[in-house]
Structure 1
Amino acid sequence: MVEPSRRPPEIPPPFDLSRIRPIPIAQRKNKVRREEFGSLADVDASIGEFIDSLPRILAADELRHAAQWTAESVARGAPVFVAMGGHVVKVGLAPVVNDLMRRGIVRALVFNGSTAIHDSEIAMIGQTSEHVEVNVADGSFGMAHETAALFAAALERARREGTGLGGALGREIVEQQLPFPGDSMLAEAARLGIPVTVHVGIGTDVIHMHPEIHGDALGAATHHDFLLLAALVTELDHGTWINIGSAVVLPEVFLKAVNMARNVGHSLEGITAINFDMLQHYRTSVNVLRRPVARGISLTGHHEINVPLFRIALLRELKARGLGS
């Protein structure tokens, strides 16, 4: 064992500032320029003028890039798919999504189980999102009979027709003539012939507590939807994948679908991914915005503000390219 030196370390003299070599500020590279500052929108400005007034810095410019890159996909004839969690319904964005489907911009919807439940309840009674803290106290949380009955009918339809849960739910809503189909993304997609896939984690949704919901039927229907999504993703070259508010299930589903497509020879080049969420999470940051795609954008904030802004920015971009009115 080497005995440590008993001599105290020599303390250096203070740093000699006369040795510093300043540079002219003109030589310095900067990240912010005054030309990128925002302008003052008039109090009576249109929403388009408001967007134009935003700074060309950080999230405001990312919003513009999201619109531009999505418009590039549309201009190339490439698909735009929207994956979403249940809060998209709960904050009132079905009209925005339905409009983008009717315009031919969005070609497929990708739901988790809660999205399908909330959308179906809107079609059924025009309301959704029960008071969990109240109802869980007496065990009535998630026990609405009509919701489970609609899903049971859709699962039987899926079995009978050899289809998935998303398409079967949309057709069931339409054929049962539920009161509010115009506010349902499932029903609107069924009317337009646009595919909807529903990706269920068994045990995560309220309908799984009901005796009429059978695991074999649920598993078969959601597995069919997964394979349908994988087939749709094979066509995503230069397309856009938009994820709104799903932090776990749909990012994982997307990663697997992309991998399956590439495994059988589809290169899937030039994909744009856009993530809208209140917080940015690991799976969306890595499995949506980085690993499987060419370029990704995160737009952090409230869906009920950011998604309508994105719609307007996208429609203006398409109009500028002669692709919309």
Structure 2
Amino acid sequence: MSKYEEIDLNDISTYSVEDRPSKVHVEDFISDEFVTTNDFVKKLPNILAAQDLKELIRHIHKAIIDQKPIILMFGGHLIKCGLSPLINRAIEQEVISAIAVNGSVGIHDFEIAFFGKTSEDVQTALEDGSFGMGAETGRIINEVISEGFENDLGYGEALGKFIYEEQPPYWDYSVFAKAYEYDVPVTVHVAIGTDIIHQHPQADGAALGGSSYTDFKIFANMVKELNDGGVLLSFGSAVILPEVFLKALTVVRNLGYEVNNFYTAVFDMIKHYRPMTNIVYRPTACGGKGYHFVGHHEIMFPILFGSLLEE
């Protein structure tokens, strides 16, 4: 037993997510009426970032033809920017082979699936300590992770399986459920203390850590397939996922797998050190190429995937 005193979370006050004002609603998500951006992209100049984008798209198309993996990594803002329907379309059309996310993505995906809304007003809620205290989110996700851990499931698979089987009112917006339905692994890479569900008494550190560790090994197993033409795309996670990818890559190379000559691309609103170093530069030093694009997710993601998907 530790000689240091711990805070007791059992007396945490919660509220129903139903009653919480949220800033993101499914009514504002990207339209289901898909429009291809192929013609738009083709007419862009063959200069600088536009040339890079067209080059990346060619690599992705070749990866699809050659049946090489296309791994999508992203943080919570891809969900909060209303892009779930487009991600799900990419899953259905077998454009995405695997998905890696941080812990916030599961939270937003769960709330969208069950309540059709997510993203609270952090500044206001922080003032009275109600930030992150949605009862359903904290209780249900933690229970699902604990039960999944007992059954040797990773974090992403456990949550996707639960949403898919429960089919809550907005489950068709859930990336986790869609991925589970189409056998696309979703791996969740948790840093304990960074997610609102860790504030709740139902949180089990062993289950959270253990299920996320399972996901790390699932993710590494996908990374080993990137060799000679695979593509890894990263949207928005500037710290956790770049570090996870670097560790997964060194693991598979250490185990004797050849993982060279693949392509990476980072899309974010600004340039960050870790994505540039750990995704764009270091991994492709032995062959392949890394790209970086600056822009808003709600614009850049539809432009990219609008040129990859069929109507």
Fold match (TM-score > 0.5):
yes
Give ranges in structure 2 of 5+ residues lacking alignment.
1-34
Task: Tell me whether 1:205 sits opposite 2:203 in the alignment.
Answer: no
Q: Give the letter aligned to residue 262 of structure 1.
A: R
Q: After TM superposition, give the deviation of residue 151 of structure 1 in Å.
A: 1.1
Q: After TM superposition, give the deviation of residue 292 of structure 1 in Å.
A: 1.0
CA distance in 2, matches of 1:273, 1:150: 35
Aligned residues: CA RMSD: 1.5
CA distance in 2, matches of 1:50, 1:71: 17
Aligned residue for 2:266, secondary structure, equals strand
Aligned residue for 2:91, secondary structure, equals helix
Task: Tell me whether 1:147 sits opposite 2:137 in the alignment.
Answer: yes
Residues 197-221 of structure 1 deviation map (CA, whole Å, 9 limit, x = unaligned): 0000001111110000111111111
CA distance in 2, matches of 1:175, 1:305: 32
Residues 183-233 of structure 1 deviation map (CA, whole Å, 9 limit, x = unaligned): 010010111111110000001111110000111111111111111111121
Q: After TM superposition, give the deviation of residue 142 of structure 1 in Å.
A: 0.1
**Which of 298, 303, 315 matches 2:292?**
298
Q: Which moved further from structure 2: 65-74 or 203-212? A: 65-74
Residues 219-278 of structure 1 deviation map (CA, whole Å, 9 limit, x = unaligned): 111111111111121111121000000100000000000100000111112110011100
Task: Tell me whether 1:122 sits opposite 2:112 in the alignment.
Answer: yes
**Which of 235, 239, 263 matches 1:244?**
235
Q: After TM superposition, give the deviation of residue 46 of structure 1 in Å.
A: 7.7
Residues 105-116 of structure 1 mapped to structure 2, 5 A cutoff: 105-116=95-106
Q: Report what 2:257 is aligned to.
A: 266
CA distance in 1, matches of 2:38, 2:209: 45
Structure 1 residues 106 and 69, CA gap change in structure 2 (3 angstroms)? same
CA distance in 2, matches of 1:313, 1:296: 19
Whether contact under 8 Å (1:73, 1:80) holds in the other structure is yes
Residues 71-82 of structure 1 mapped to structure 2, 5 A cutoff: 71-82=61-72
Residues 163-178 of structure 1 mapped to structure 2, 5 A cutoff: 163-178=153-168
Q: After TM superposition, give the deviation of residue 140 of structure 1 in Å.
A: 0.4
TM-score (norm 1): 0.81
Residues 58-80 of structure 1 deviation map (CA, whole Å, 9 limit, x = unaligned): 12222211211111211211000
Whether contact under 8 Å (2:146, 2:208) holds in the other structure is no
Aligned pairs, number? 273
**Which of 205, 212, 218 matches 1:215?**
205
Matched residues, percent identical? 40
Whether contact under 8 Å (1:68, 1:314) holds in the other structure is no
Q: Give the letter aligned to residue 183 of structure 1.
A: Y
Residues 163-188 of structure 1 deviation map (CA, whole Å, 9 limit, x = unaligned): 11000001111222211111010010
Residues 314-325 of structure 1 mapped to structure 2, 5 A cutoff: 314-315=308-309
Residues 10-60 of structure 1 deviation map (CA, whole Å, 9 limit, x = unaligned): xxxxxxxxxxxxxxxxxxxxxxxxxxxxxxxxxxx9843332322211122
Aligned residue for 1:292, secondary structure, equals helix
Q: Give the letter aligned to residue 272 of structure 2.
A: H
Q: Report what 1:52 is aligned to.
A: 42
Q: After TM superposition, give the deviation of residue 295 of structure 1 in Å.
A: 0.5
Q: Report what 2:74 is aligned to.
A: 84
Structure 1 residues 105 and 262, CA gap change in structure 2 (3 angstroms)? same
Q: Give the letter aligned to residue 304 of structure 1.
A: E
Whether contact under 8 Å (1:113, 1:201) holds in the other structure is yes
Q: Give the letter aligned to residue 207 of structure 2.
A: A
CA distance in 2, matches of 1:85, 1:177: 24
CA distance in 2, matches of 1:56, 1:142: 46
Could you list the runs of 4 or more consecutive aligned residues of structure 1 that deviate by over 4 angstroms after TM superposition?
none
Residues 59-107 of structure 1 deviation map (CA, whole Å, 9 limit, x = unaligned): 2222211211111211211000100000000001111111111111101
Task: Tell me whether 1:307 sits opposite 2:298 in the alignment.
Answer: no
Whether contact under 8 Å (2:78, 2:84) holds in the other structure is yes
Whether contact under 8 Å (1:153, 1:172) holds in the other structure is no
1 or 2 for the larger relative contact order (CA 8 Å, sep ≥6)? 2
**Which of 197, 214, 217 matches 1:224?**
214
Q: Give the letter aligned to residue 307 of structure 1.
A: F
TM-score (norm 2): 0.85
